[in-house]
Structure 1
Amino acid sequence: MVSEKDIAQAVLQAVDGLFPEIEEISSAELSPDNLPAILSLLQETIDGVKSEIKHIGESQQAEVTAWTKEARQLHTELSQDHDSLSEITQFESRGAVNDRVNDLGSQQTLLSDEIVFNEELVAILNDLKELQDVVSSSQAHASEGRLDEACEQFEVVGQLFDKLSGSDQILAVGLMKENIRSLKEGLIHDAEDCWTRLISSNLEDSSVTIQTSVTVRLGTITGEKLVNTIDKLGILKEKLDRLHYRITHSLIFPRLQPISGATYTFIVSTEQNRLQLRKRPSPDQTVGALYADLKIVFGFLSEKLGSSISRRLSKILTSAVLNQLMGSYLPECIPTDLDHFNEFDTILNETSAFEQYLDSTGWLEGNRGELRDWVSRAPRIWLNRRREEALDSLRKAFSTGLGKRHRVERIERVQQVDGVLEASKPIDTAEDNWDTNWDVEIEEDEPKPKAAPKSAHEKPKSDPKPQADEEDVSGWGFDDDIDLEDDTAGDSSKTGPGQASKDGDEDESADWGWGDDDADNKKEAQPSHQSNGKPKEKDVQDITLRETYSVTSIPQEVINIILRTVEEAEKLSQPQYSNLTISSSTSGLLTIPASVLNAYRALAGIFYRDDPSPAICIYNDCEWLEENLVELEKEVKSKSGPFGGFDLQTSIKSISSFGRRSYWKEMDNKRLIFTDLMDGAQGFENCTQYPMSENCDTAIMSVIDALQGIEMQWRDTLSRSALSQSLGSLLNTIIRKFISDVEDLGDISADASAKLSSYVTDIGRLESLFRMPDQPKDALPMTAVYCEQWLKFQYLGNILDSSMAEIMDLWRDGALVDFETDELMDLIRALFADGEKRSQVLDELRRAR
């Protein structure tokens, strides 16, 4: 049974949240009888707790005091926070008032903005009203025909509308803008309609009609007011351009035509409002009549359109008239005949007077001084025209063709000193020394050429002293290829190297005089002709050389043009022409021949190219020109006055150089062709074996045929001496190439030697090309004179066809002087097998170096 104490204890534990663990206690019934025990136990427990708290409080009094202090501090802070919260609460309670105040302020601002807007709107409406009033006024003036006043009002409209430029978004402003645009279109339409009726043109009858005034709606407007109106509308430039075009093309330009314009004149109708271009009863070519007609045009425009239009129109109309006048009409008025130059002075005076008229009437705005400058430049213009006519004459001469070829004669006086002719003008200084005159590069493997024998009309430029092999050349028949007035033919009965016998006949070799030349060559320290230590007196004879060559008709035309110019300069220098405006242009006229010659050189390459031999044709024409220009220059310089300064030397040298350069280029091309043909033999290697033998034969026959073809082509063009020089130069190219190829062969068999010798014989037949027409039948051809390597070539044939002993005999007799010792040694090594005999020969040659 559960006691009261257990039940009281369970209740006490229940206060602490504990439940009895014993089921009997937890299930026991709590009755009022148990309360005293429970209360007693609770009182004991409370007393115990109080005692314990007191004991703890006494033991921890300091800590409690500190805690109490902190609690009071916290209380104070809480009080302060409470006050702040009170203030915040009070402030929030007053926020509605502030919002009201702000709302009222916004309403005030809005009302102020509305007032400003209303004021601006009133101002815009006032401007629109004012603008509408002006637009209405302008429309009223336009409807009454007062376009000038309407345009003045329209200018005010533009100024007023500028004030509304920032209010385009306003509907009323946009509508007003549309009204203004419509007003402007109406004014432009009315103005253009008035302009069309005021100024009308008829291209069919070449007339222009200008009314004094025209009607427009209910009123009228004059021409000058209409011009001002159109100017204010901004369309005046367009109208003036069209007016300028109609006036110039239907009236003025036809009258300014140099030839057909003289048949026209201008007529003003009886109503004084129509200007028409009409045919004259008879043409009037005078410049005075032209200026009178132009004055009619300018006076008519000034009267009908007023001074304001003349100032504006002058910038385009006057400029076009003066350009046409000075560009085409007045130059054609310059006479070519000096006898009519007094009339030209009258033209210059009338031109100056016409410029004064334009200036006084206001039509010379921006163009002052142009006619005056042209008048001052008249002598120069005349001189340029004379130059143009001279050049045009040359061009026309070229355009008609080169004309019929004709032969001309060249006469040259030279001296023959001791049987040697000394001429002054060869085609070149030496047959193959082209690099001396034309700066041509020479291949390094080519041997340096010796001085070639000179033709009868040729002498060296660089070395006036004759070479040793030139001292005895009278036997070559120099006098046989040309016509000599002084008959001084030398002995010409000696045989040539091509006729030398196979065994090297000493007598025939001696006829050539090689021993004499060799002896002369050894006398280096002595004069070539001495007698008892005294110089031998030279035998000097004057000889005239004559020969002919072919030229075209162009050089004569060039001379004729120059002669006409000189004759005109001579005429102009006479006293009766001293008062002419162009009297000072005599020296200028004398410069035209140089321009003509320059033009000849520029056009020759174009118009000569259709000739079969253009370069040779140019060369001949330039030679003839050079000769005749020299004589012409001497003749002109001999005259008194300004002709002493007449100088064509530069032009003459240019013509000579041009002709020779053309000749040289042609020769250079021919040399290249012959070199290419000879290259087909490929150095004559294996010339006896097929197919190389065919190539060698073809190469030899090709060069022979080519040279013969050139001779046939040039024989009727070049002079005989020039033809011989040209053929000799080309032949020298062939045989030099042949000699070089043969000497380069390291081994020449007997069959190859015979074959090469036959080639020498074949080429030797070209010697017939150098036989002069007037030579006796037994005379030697002139081949060796014109072909430097000819004798060496002939003796190469002898070497190829001779034994070693025969070769040495030729060498000992001096026949092989053209061969260097090394050349002979190389040929002997190639022709003959190694042996004692060959070694002896080589040693002998080596000792003779």
Structure 2
Amino acid sequence: MPSTIDPAQLGNTLIEFSSNGQFPDEQISASLVDTAALPRAVEALNQTKLSLEIEVRNISKDKSSDIDSWIQHAQNLQNDIDRSRKLASEIVQQAEAEEARELDLKNKETHVALLEKEIIFNRQLRVALQCIKRASDELDKAEQLAGNNELCNAIRSLQAAGSYMGEIPTETGVRAFKVLEYRYFDIKVAIREQLRKLRESLIRIDRERSSLEIHQTFDDNPTTLLDVSKCVMAYKELESMGKEIWDELYEAILLRRTGLEVTPSLFRLSVGKFIDDIQNTIRVTEEHVDHTIKSLFQDVEAVIHFLVDNLPKEIAMSLANAMMPELSSKIVDTWLDMAIPTSLESMVDYQKALAQAEAFAMTLESLNWPGANVFLDWVSGAPRHWLKKRKDSSLDWIRNELALGIGTPHLAEHTEQRMVTLDDSMAVTSHGENVTDDWGWGDEEEEDNAMDIDSGPPAKNRASMEEERRLSVVHPDPAAVQAALEEEDDAWGWGDDDNIVVEPLPDAGEDQPVAATSAKSEISKPAEKRNVTLSEKYSTSSMPITVFKSVTAIYEDGATLMQEVNETIPVTPAAAGLFNIPTLVLAMYRAISPYYYSQSPKGQMYAYNDAMWLCDQLKDFAAKWQSRTDLPPRARNLVKLDSEIKYLESFGKRSYKKEMDTQRTILRDLLAGSQNFLQQGDAPAVINTVIDHIKKESANWKTILPYSTWASAVGNLINTVALKIINDVFDLTDLGIDDAERVASLILQVETLDSLFKNENDEKQMPKTAQYAKDWIKLQFLGEILQSNLKDIRYLWFESELSFCFTKEEVIDLIELSFEKNVNSRQLIKDIKEKPVQVKAHD
């Protein structure tokens, strides 16, 4: 149990804690405090307090003098603070009083500025009122003067009023200014209307009577025409007045004299001082006038002289500025350009027109009248204008002529020199023509290549096979045939333009097979040749004749202009340009003629013939042109038709090709197109339709084309049919006896087309179909194969000429297609593959 603390000790502990902040130890802290000990502890504390107070009092007594000085110093500091506060308060009061004075000053300055603005406003108001009054007075004066017909003075007053209105220092939105402005414009409009009426009275244009009267004064009106001019200038409407007078003058008078594009009836003008007792008048009379440029210029000059003499200079110039651009253009376009000739025959009249236009321009310059440069330019540009007129007229004429269509057919003839053998010359007239295949044109088969004479067997060999099989005739010399073909290809010199493959045609010597009693003796001898003239007739339309005449006429005019005797002709500088027009004419022909050719069923063949005829004529013309001695060297060198001839050849071949492509397409469509024709049930009827179509086209073409070209075209159609049948046979998968007989009968139907190539003058002569249809012999051999047995096929292959038309593979395919596979067929196929063919072509 803790012990009880001693009262004295308790007092000391409390004093230590209060004085020094010292805590008692644990023993004392854990001791019990008796209640009776508290009074004694309090008393000890009071004693300690009393001793401390006495100690402080004693210390204070010793430091009393320092404390008094501190108090005095604090009092002085307080006094300084009070003075500073009072001074600051005074400074603040003075600052507030300065702001009040500045505000008062600003208020007074604002008041002064307001007074100054008021003074300025009053001054401006005074000036504005003065200007308004002056302007109003001037307007009143202008109204009064206008009422008295003193228009010049009225306009001056109106201008003065406008000046005063411009000086008014106020906004235009002010009502007083608006009222004044409305009045100003009303008076201005009234004076303008009065001036217009006066002008119409002084310059009187009567459309009904077609007359013009000019008066310097009108009745009692003091305003003269010169015053009117000045007034209009003041209004700045001189230009518009000139345009107005010109419009009325043209409609009333000049249109009836110059309006050739409106009416062919033109009337003479009467210009003079007095006409029917009327002074200074121009009038359209009832007398008709000629359409010469000379009379036109005379009347126009009289009108201009009249205007210059009777109109004030200002009005005359404003009228001229409005008049001449339009009048000059009408005269040039309607009169002068129409006087430009389209040939050299009317050049004398054209030279007169040029001289008259130049004289008229000189007159205009002497009168200081505008528009002379237009006529001088027309005169100086005579070569250019004439060349353009010649070009336009040539193209228009060609266009109109071509629009007439094919027209009446014309018989034409192509001739050439060629070295031929005696046999060839005897065969020349075998079919009624002097030569065959002179054109050298065939057509290309799209499925085949063109016949290559150098690489393949000649067409004559195929014809000879037919002859050997049927009539046992011998072949003509293949070397002679080859030479003749090459000569014919070179004769025309036409190439492969536009990638059109041209099949060479047989020459005259091939038309007649040569019957030989001794093949060795006749063929081995070299044929004697001689130079003969070969010709062939055909038909053309009327189109190329028109074109050729136009081309040659243009060239002749160019040559005429280049001669020394014609150097003085005004259009001579255009001579070189004239040589370019034929190119445009030919281009026009090639461009638009296909449309007109297409209107006729025979149009494409006509186009072919026409193009070839043009080529012939142009070649002859160019050759003769180069040999002419009456031409200067420059003119001789300007005719270059090689490129144009090439284009025409290409144009003709395209027309021919287009027609042949069309006909081949028709035939293919009749023969079932891409399908197998032989599998159709109505094959015989279709073959008859095909034969009728070919005969129809043959008849149409025979009246147009030369024989060689006709034969080539018809042969091409026949070859199309033959090739279609051959290909369809090879496309079959099986061919029985009945089918083979049916196909053979169809081939026999097609063989009736041989009649197209029979010579009407010689019934015994064999048809020449094989010469123009290269697959014709192949088709005939195919018909024989389909009707033959294996023995016959062996004979045809090894001892006849089947190998010339069919390859080994083709013959084997036909055997496998038509015969059963047995020992005989397999042996024949083996022999065909392994054994050589004994038959040789005749060399």
Amino acid at match of 1:278: T
Specify whether residues 170 and 573 from structure 1 end up closer, same or farther in structure 2 by C-alpha distance, changes over 3 A only.
closer
| Correspondence for 2:207 | 203
**Change in 2 beyond 3 A, CA 1:622/1:514:** closer
Gap change, CA 1:296 and 1:763, over 3 Å in 2: same
CA distance in 1 between counterparts of 2:297 and 2:169 reads 54
Q: In 1, distance between residues paired with 2:364 and 2:820?
A: 106
Within the candidate set 645, 655, 675, 2:648 is matched to 655
SS of the equivalent of 2:537 reads strand
SS in 2 for 1:221: coil
- Change over 3 Å in CA distance of 1:343–1:680 after alignment to 2: closer
Contact 2:362/2:372 (CA < 8 Å) preserved in 1? no
Asked if 2 retains the 8 angstrom alpha-carbon contact of 1:496 and 1:780, the reply is no
Counterpart in 1 of 2:376? 372
CA distance in structure 2 between the aligned counterparts of 1:314 and 1:232, rounded to whole angstroms: 20
Instruction: Give the corresponding residue for 2:240.
Output: 238
Write out per-residue CA displacement over residues 57-76 of structure 1, whole angstroms, 9 at most, x where no aligned residue: 969989x9899999997897
Compute the displacement of 1:764 (Å): 1.6
2:151·2:223 contact (CA, 8 Å) conserved in 1? yes
Structure 2: how far apart are the matches of 1:67 and 1:750? 164
C-alpha separation in 2, matches of 1:89 and 1:145: 83
Give the letter for the 1:731 counterpart.
Answer: I
CA drift of 1:730 comes to 1.7
1:667-682, aligned counterparts within 5 Å? Answer: 667-680=660-673, 682=675
Task: State whether structure 2 residue 711 is matched by structure 1 residue 704.
Answer: no
**Greater alpha carbon shift after TM alignment, 719-728 vs 694-703:** 694-703
Read off the aligned partner of 2:570 and give its amino acid letter.
Answer: T
Residue 496 (1) aligns with residue 466 (2) = yes
Aligned-residue offset at 1:125: 3.1
Counterpart contact for 1:266–1:297, Cα < 8 Å: no
The whole-number CA distance in structure 1 between the counterparts of 2:572 and 2:221 is 64
**Structure 1 position 623 matched with structure 2 position 619:** no
- Aligned with 1:644 (options 633, 636, 641): 636
Alignment of 1:24-63 (within 5 A): none
CA distance 1:77–1:201, shift in 2 (3 Å) = same
> What's the CA shift for 1:323?
1.1
Of residues 394, 399, 419 in structure 1, which corresponds to 2:398? 394
Asked if 1:788 corresponds to 2:788, the answer is no
**Residues 779-788 or 169-178, more deviating:** 169-178
The aligned residue for residue 839 of structure 2 is none
Tell which deviates more after alignment, 143-152 or 781-790. 143-152
| CA 67–756 in structure 1, closer or farther in 2 if over 3 Å, else same | farther
In the other structure, the counterpart of 1:665 is: 658
1:422-571 equivalences under 5 Å are 430-432=442-444, 442=446, 446=447, 448-451=449-452, 469=458, 496=466, 508=469, 511=472, 537-562=526-551, 565=554
Quote the Cα distance in structure 2 between the aligned partners of 1:346 and 1:255: 21
Match of 1:799 in 2: 785
Structure 1 pair 336–85 and aligned structure 2 pair: CA distance change class (3 A) = closer
Q: Deviations over 1:595-624 (max 9, x none)?
A: 433333333123333222221222223333
Q: For residues 115-134 of structure 1, what are the structure 2 equivalents within 5 Å?
A: 115-134=119-138
AA paired with 2:316?
S
Give, in whole Å, the separation in 2 of the partners of 1:769 and 1:105.
129
- Per mean C-alpha deviation after superposition, the further-off stretch among 789-798 and 811-820 is 811-820
Seen in structure 2, the aligned counterparts of structure 1 residues 605 and 158 have a Cα distance that, compared at 3 Å, is farther
C-alpha distance in 2 between matches for 1:401 and 1:130: 85
Going from structure 1 to structure 2, the CA distance change for 1:450 and 1:720 (only over 3 Å counts) comes to closer
Q: 1:448 to 1:583 in 2, by over 3 A?
A: closer
* TM-score, length of structure 1 as denominator length: 0.75
1:761 to 726, 748, 772: 748
CA positional deviation for 1:781 = 1.0
CA distance, structure 2, for counterparts of residue 727 and residue 285 of structure 1: 60
What is the identity, as a one-letter code, of the residue corresponding to 1:739?
Answer: I
Is the 1:208–1:274 contact (alpha carbons within 8 Å) kept by the matching residues of 2? yes
Residue 779 of structure 1 is aligned with which of 742, 762, 765?
765
1:545: Cα distance to partner?
Answer: 4.1
Q: Does structure 1 conserve the Cα–Cα contact (< 8 Å) formed by 2:437 and 2:709?
A: no
Match of 1:278 among 277, 285, 302: 285
Q: Distance in 1 between matches of 2:744 and 2:155?
A: 112
1:428 Cα deviation from its structure 2 partner = 5.6
CA separation in 1, counterparts of 2:90 and 2:52?
40
Q: Tell me, which stretches of 5 or more residues in structure 2 are unaligned?
A: 1-48, 429-434, 483-518, 837-843
C-alpha displacement at 1:192, in angstroms?
1.9
* Cα distance, 1:358 vs structure 2: 0.8
Indicate the residue corresponding to 1:44 in structure 2: none
What SS class does the counterpart of residue 804 from structure 2 fall into?
A: coil
Once residues 565 and 106 of structure 2 are traced to their aligned partners in structure 1, the CA distance between those partners, rounded to angstroms, is: 113
Counterpart secondary structure, 1:201: strand
1:836 pairs, out of 794, 811, 823, with 823
Q: 2 CA distance for matches of 1:571 and 1:96?
A: 114
Q: What is the SS of the residue equivalent to 2:831?
A: helix
Counterpart amino acid of residue 313 in structure 1? L
Closer/same/farther in 2, CA of residues 425 and 283 from structure 1, 3 Å limit = farther
Aligned partner of 2:228 in structure 1 is 226
Identity over the aligned pairs, expressed in percent? 23
Provide the rounded CA distance (Å) in 1 between the counterparts of 2:831 and 2:58. Answer: 160
Q: What is the aligned partner in structure 2 of residue 501 from structure 1? A: none
CA distance in 1 between partners of 2:794 and 2:156 (Å): 123
Query: Once the 2 structures are TM-superposed, how far is the Cα of residue 789 of structure 1 from its aligned partner?
Result: 1.1
Q: Counterparts of 1:307 and 1:798 in 2: how far apart (Å)?
A: 108
Deviation at 1:726, TM superposition (A): 0.8
Distance in 1 between the 2:112 and 2:576 partners? 100
Instruction: Give the Cα–Cα distance (whole angstroms) in 1 for the partners of residues 386 and 99 of structure 2.
Output: 107
Instruction: Please give the secondary structure, in 1, of the residue aligned with 2:222.
Output: strand
- Residues in 1 aligned to 2:52 and 2:306: alpha-carbon distance in whole angstroms: 142
Structure 1 residue 299 corresponds to structure 2 residue 299: no
Q: Following the alignment from structure 2 to structure 1, what is the Cα–Cα distance between the partners of residues 347 and 204?
A: 42
CA distance in 1: counterparts of 2:291 and 2:210, whole angstroms: 21
Query: Which residue identity lines up with residue 274 of structure 1 in the other structure?
Result: T
| Equivalent runs, 1:276-425 vs 2, <5 Å | 276-280=283-287, 283-334=289-340, 341-364=347-370, 367-417=371-421
Look up the equivalent residue of 2:636 and give its one-letter code: G
Aligned 8 A contact 1:310 1:362 in 2: no
Q: Which amino acid aligns with 2:466?
A: G
Deviation, 1:728, is 0.9
How far apart are the structure 1 equivalents of 2:594 and 2:819? 55
Mapped partners of 1:96, 1:627: distance in 2? 122
Matched position secondary structure for 2:734: coil
Shift of residue 293 of structure 1? Answer: 0.8
